[in-house]
Amino acid sequence: MRNLRWEAEAARQYQDALAYIGALNPAAAESLESDIANKLALLPRFPELGRKGRVRRTRELVVHPNYVVIYTVRRTNIDVIRFLHARQQYP
């Protein structure tokens, strides 16, 4: 089974989103964090769960109606490379 690894930029984007939501509604931030964790926990067993990415060799997993995780599948790891709000332009 592969390991889930966060690149620094993706981890920062994720923490920033949780902090922003948490400042407005702490309970919503906790719920969002739990929902995202549950979806990401599936990736090591099902790395093809997300759709084919718009950038070559990436995949995109909608972890919440407002958030998308961009990741790459490697031999031993799944690397989360971006955590984006659905309205952000990507790539």
pTM of the model: 0.93
* CATH code, domain carrying 41: 3.30.2310.20
Per-residue pLDDT tens over the stretch 20-79? 999 999 999 999 999 999 999 999 999 999 999 999 999 999 999 999 999 999 999 999
Query: Residue 1: is its pLDDT beyond 90?
Result: no
Domain count, the chain: 1
Number of Cβ within a 10 Å radius of residue 13? 22
90 part of a folded domain? no
44 part of a folded domain? yes
Among 50, 48, 78, which residue's Cα sits nearest to residue 62?
50
Predicted pLDDT at 89: 87
Predicted pLDDT at 29: 98
Instruction: Report residue 85's pLDDT band, with 50, 70 and 90 as the boundaries.
Output: very high
Domain ranges, residue 11: 3-85
CA dist., res. 58 & res. 79, Å (int): 10
